[in-house]
């Protein structure tokens, strides 16, 4: 018997005769299946053929679409559908298997394309990024090149090690909080132009609130002495006793000197405030025991984890309860394990040495630094004597592949037109830079300031057309080349170029 399917040109034959060469034969003692491979139509691909098999072993067999009666109880009955046809086959059982004729076998579904279907739904998990999303891959590659080719001087930036990156991308990637304040409660933090963070309740001189803290809470800033740049603790105490904040915040974004936590503790106790330290900028220095420890004095200590700690991006509230991401916990544990080593202490000591070397090099070039120097990892360069704004210098430096922050400094009228920049040493120290290297970096910075000064006088405000023209300015191109050649001497932690 031969059956032919008109759409696929497949033929099925049951025969005991010898098959022609162009036929494939699959046979046992009683059955042969023959597929005629000579019948092909390339315009109609052969579809997958589902094969359903039903084996019945009982004394009285009944099969739909078949002609089987009870007298054939010594034979197995097999029914299957192929190419839309239903068939019944009889096969002689041996005497041993006939003794178990009362057992009913399970229906089995056999799909030749099952693995293809499985593969199609799970293949996404094995795609590398360059295949899964070429656009994101290209962006990341460009960022990798930017980090490698440039000088990173943003005080809040750093590079993580390979182990931290592996933990962040590990299988561990497969909240709840309670507040101490009610809306309308009072807080006190360092004024942003004095070196505080905007998240500590800052609002502009005209009263515009610029952060959630200033919107939901009533805030009053304390300030630095405008002549010295140091925090005026006597005025701070006077204002705190009048204002009676519920939380008094020490710590900031751009204060280059030590914090007197003992004095903060005294003031907080006098006015009945909770003392909170935001140590995000100096957490690495604290961990290395290279400055006063706020944990000895403060009720709450908060920090980011990615700045001088060189951990994954995130935050810590000591002691926080909740369920953060496990991959971040693992990555942070790796970073904090490194923080506890003597090698990390040596790293933070070098960070401070490099900051002092950079400060000295700029001072020798007659640059004005807030407080005249630094005790930690950052310094504040007052650009106003040069006739520059922080925004202009930041943009020109970026074109030269030097990244740093514009920052409002003491004496600025708010944060709209910042008069300075904040410069930090942790990231380039992580790449292996020492004091002599920061002498070179100071030279680059001073040259960038000269270029920016000329550009600001000639072009005025930073508009798109001005920026486009500056990018090809011969002085900027020359300095950018020098910066790239310098940066290429230092390996990147965590990845290769």
337-396 pLDDT, tens digit per residue, is 888 899 999 999 999 999 999 999 999 999 999 999 999 999 999 999 998 999 989 999
Annotated active-site residue 176? The verdict is yes
- Which pLDDT belongs to residue 175? 40
Rounded distance between C-alpha atoms, residue 276 and residue 280, angstroms: 12
Going by pLDDT thresholds of 50, 70 and 90, the confidence category of residue 217 is: confident
Compute the average pLDDT of residues 169-173.
69
More confident residue, 57 or 275: 275
- Which pLDDT belongs to residue 477? 95
Tokens read off for 74: 């010594």
Say which of 289, 313, 337, 364 is annotated catalytic: 313
Say which of 126, 178, 296, 458 is annotated catalytic: 178
Q: Enumerate the β-bridge partners of residue 36.
A: 23
Rounded distance between C-alpha atoms, residue 30 and residue 16, angstroms: 8
What 3-state class would DSSP assign to 75? strand
Q: Which of 10-14, 475-479, 491-495 has the highest mean pLDDT?
A: 475-479
* Backbone torsions φ then ψ of 365, nearest 5 degrees: -95, 15
If you ran DSSP here, which 8-state letter would residue 491 be given? P
Going by pLDDT thresholds of 50, 70 and 90, the confidence category of residue 296 is: very high
Rounded distance between C-alpha atoms, residue 355 and residue 373, angstroms: 9
Per-residue exposure over 291-324, b if at least 16 CB sit within 10 Å of its own CB, e if not: beebeebbebbbbbbbbbbbbbeeebeeeeeeee
Sheet holding 378-382, edge to edge: 368-369, 378-382, 420-424, 405-407
- What are the sequence ranges of the domains in the chain? 2-110, 171-340, 347-487
Say which of 192, 198, 302, 304 is annotated catalytic: 304
Distances (CA, A) of 288 to 291, 340, 356, 438: 8, 8, 17, 22
Task: Kindly tell me if the per-residue pLDDT of 403 is higher than 90.
Answer: yes
Compute the average pLDDT of residues 256-263.
94
If you ran DSSP here, which 8-state letter would residue 249 be given? E
In the chain, % of residues over pLDDT 70: 69
Check whether domain 171-340 has CATH 3.90.550.10, yes or no: no
- Residue 375, Cβ neighbours under 10 Å: how many? 19
- Which pLDDT belongs to residue 469? 73
Rounded distance between C-alpha atoms, residue 294 and residue 85, angstroms: 83
Q: For residue 285, what is the enclosing H or E element? A: helix 283-287
Say which of 36, 278, 375, 382 is annotated catalytic: 278
Task: Please give the mean pLDDT across all residues of the chain.
Answer: 77
pLDDT in tens, 16-66: 444 444 444 444 444 444 444 444 445 444 444 444 433 344 444 444 444
Check whether domain 347-487 has CATH 3.90.1150.10, yes or no: yes
DSSP symbols for 295-319: GGT-SEEEEESSSTT---S-EEEET
- Which pLDDT belongs to residue 115? 72
Chain centre distance of CA 449: 33
**C-beta of residue 74 within 8 angstroms of C-beta of residue 93:** yes
pLDDT in tens, 70-128: 444 555 555 555 545 555 555 555 544 444 444 455 555 556 677 776 676 666 677 78
Annotated active-site residue 304? The verdict is yes
Annotated active-site residue 255? The verdict is no
**C-beta of residue 313 within 8 angstroms of C-beta of residue 306:** yes
- Which pLDDT belongs to residue 378? 94
- Which pLDDT belongs to residue 126? 76
Rounded distance between C-alpha atoms, residue 268 and residue 392, angstroms: 40
- Which pLDDT belongs to residue 130? 85
Task: Kindly tell me if the per-residue pLDDT of 13 is higher than 80.
Answer: no
Q: Which of 5-14, 236-245, 263-272, 460-469 has the lowest mean pLDDT?
A: 5-14
Global pTM value: 0.61
Compute the average pLDDT of residues 139-164.
89
Tokens read off for 364: 């020798």
Compute the average pLDDT of residues 288-307.
90
- Which pLDDT belongs to residue 421? 95
- Which pLDDT belongs to residue 96? 47
Annotated active-site residue 142? The verdict is no
**C-beta of residue 423 within 8 angstroms of C-beta of residue 354:** no
More confident residue, 177 or 330: 330
Residue with tokens 């006015």: 271
Task: Kindly tell me if the per-residue pLDDT of 261 is higher than 60.
Answer: yes
Task: Kindly tell me if the per-residue pLDDT of 215 is higher than 60.
Answer: yes
Rounded distance between C-alpha atoms, residue 310 and residue 98, angstroms: 74
Burial of 462 (0-12, 13-18, 19+ CB in 10 A): middle
Say which of 239, 265, 307, 356 is annotated catalytic: 307
- Which pLDDT belongs to residue 481? 97
The answer for residues whose C-beta is within 8 angstroms of residue 366's C-beta and 6 or more apart is none
Say which of 126, 176, 319, 461 is annotated catalytic: 176
- Which pLDDT belongs to residue 32? 44
Annotated active-site residue 278? The verdict is yes
Going by pLDDT thresholds of 50, 70 and 90, the confidence category of residue 268 is: very high
* Backbone torsions φ then ψ of 28, nearest 5 degrees: -125, -155
* Backbone torsions φ then ψ of 414, nearest 5 degrees: 90, -165
Backbone angle region of 432, left / alpha / beta, with phi > 0 → left and psi within -120 to 50 → alpha? left
In the chain, DSSP finds a helix count (H) and a strand count (E) of 16, 20
Distances (CA, A) of 371 to 283, 297, 456: 21, 25, 27
The answer for residues whose C-beta is within 8 angstroms of residue 24's C-beta and 6 or more apart is 34, 35, 37
- Which pLDDT belongs to residue 428? 95
- Residue 155, Cβ neighbours under 10 Å: how many? 28
DSSP symbols for 332-345: HHHHHHHHTSHHHH
**C-beta of residue 335 within 8 angstroms of C-beta of residue 305:** yes
């Amino acid at each position: 018997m031969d059956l032919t399917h008109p759409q696929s040109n497949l033929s099925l034959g049951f025969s005991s005769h010898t098959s022609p060469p162009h036929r494939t034969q699959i046979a046992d003692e009683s059955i042969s299946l023959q597929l005629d491979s000579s019948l092909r139509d390339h315009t109609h691909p052969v579809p997958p053929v589902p094969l359903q098999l039903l084996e019945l072993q009982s004394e009285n067999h009944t099969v739909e679409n078949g002609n089987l009666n009870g007298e054939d109880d010594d034979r197995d009955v097999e029914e299957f559908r192929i190419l839309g046809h239903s068939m019944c086959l009889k096969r002689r059982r041996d005497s041993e298997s006939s003794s178990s004729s009362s057992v009913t076998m399970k229906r089995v579904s056999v799909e030749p394309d099952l693995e293809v279907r499985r593969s199609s739904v799970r293949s996404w998990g094995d795609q590398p990024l360059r295949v899964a999303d070429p656009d994101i891959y290209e962006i990341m590659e460009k960022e990798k090149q930017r980090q490698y080719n440039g000088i990173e001087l943003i005080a809040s930036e750093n590079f993580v090690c390979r182990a931290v990156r592996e933990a962040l991308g590990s299988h561990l990637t497969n909240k709840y909080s309670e507040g101490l304040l009610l809306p309308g409660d009072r807080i006190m933090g360092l004024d942003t132009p004095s070196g505080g963070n905007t998240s500590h309740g800052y609002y502009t001189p005209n009263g515009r609130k610029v952060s959630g803290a200033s919107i939901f809470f009533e805030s009053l800033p304390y300030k630095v002495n405008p002549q010295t740049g140091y925090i005026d603790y006597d005025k701070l105490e006077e204002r705190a006793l009048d204002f009676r904040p519920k939380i008094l915040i020490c710590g900031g974004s751009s204060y280059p000197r030590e914090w007197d936590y003992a004095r903060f503790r005294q003031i907080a106790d006098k006015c009945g405030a909770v003392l909170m330290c935001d140590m995000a900028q100096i957490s690495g220095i604290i961990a290395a025991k290279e400055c006063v420890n706020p944990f000895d004095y403060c009720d709450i200590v908060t920090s980011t984890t990615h700045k001088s700690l060189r951990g994954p991006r995130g935050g810590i509230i000591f002691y926080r309860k909740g369920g953060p991401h496990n991959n971040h916990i693992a990555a942070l544990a790796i970073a904090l394990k490194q923080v506890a080593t003597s090698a990390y202490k040596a790293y933070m000591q070098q960070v401070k040495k490099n900051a002092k070397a950079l400060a000295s090099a700029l001072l020798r070039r007659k640059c004005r630094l807030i407080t005249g120097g630094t005790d930690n990892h950052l310094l504040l360069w007052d650009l106003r004597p040069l006739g520059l704004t922080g925004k202009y210098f930041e943009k020109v430096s970026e074109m030269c592949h030097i990244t740093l922050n514009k920052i409002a400094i003491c004496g600025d009228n708010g944060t709209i037109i910042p008069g300075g920049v904040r410069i930090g040493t942790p990231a380039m120290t992580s790449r292996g830079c020492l004091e002599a290297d920061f002498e070179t970096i100071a030279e680059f910075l001073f040259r960038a300031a000269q270029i920016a000064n000329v550009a600001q006088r000639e072009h005025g405000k930073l508009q798109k057309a001005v920026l486009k023209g500056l990018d090809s300015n011969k002085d900027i191109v020359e300095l950018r080349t020098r910066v790239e050649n310098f940066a290429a001497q230092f390996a990147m932690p965590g990845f290769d170029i």
